[in-house]
Amino acid sequence: MKELLRKAFTLGWGAIVLTRETAEKLVDELVKKGEVGQEEARDLVNDLLKRGKKEREELKEFVRQEMERLLGEFNLPTRNDLSRLEEKIDRLLQQGQEK
């Protein structure tokens, strides 16, 4: 059962959305069934939470990279582009006021 639980999280999004409370409930069930001991249960909860955090970070990075790629394909201006334009407009307005 413990290995089945690990495989399920490896294959799906389970670890990404897993909370400490949910992980503890899942592992408590394994303890009640005698499939894991108390010490192993704590390690399993921590392992599941670490995996969830890692997977969330990987997903966040993947989404960021995809957004950058898509924005690049649409040829949209970046924040830096907009900042440079704002600075240029400000300079032009100042030059116009000086005349």
What pLDDT, on the 0 to 100 scale, is given for residue 1? 46
The residue assigned the tokens 């995996």 is: 51
pLDDT > 80? residue 18: no
Question: Can you give the pLDDT at residue 11?
Answer: 46
If one compares 81 and 52, the residue with the highest pLDDT of the two is 81
The answer to whether the beta carbons of residues 52 and 16 sit under 8 Å apart is: yes
Cβ burial, residue 61 (10 Å; 0-12/13-18/19+): exposed
**Which residue carries 């898509």 as its tokens?**
70
Averaged confidence pLDDT in the chain: 79
pTM for this model (two decimals): 0.53
Q: In the predicted model, is pLDDT for residue 14 greater than 60? A: no
Read off the pLDDT band of 17 (50, 70, 90).
low
The ranges assigned to domains in the chain are 2-98
Per-residue pLDDT for 4 more than 60? no
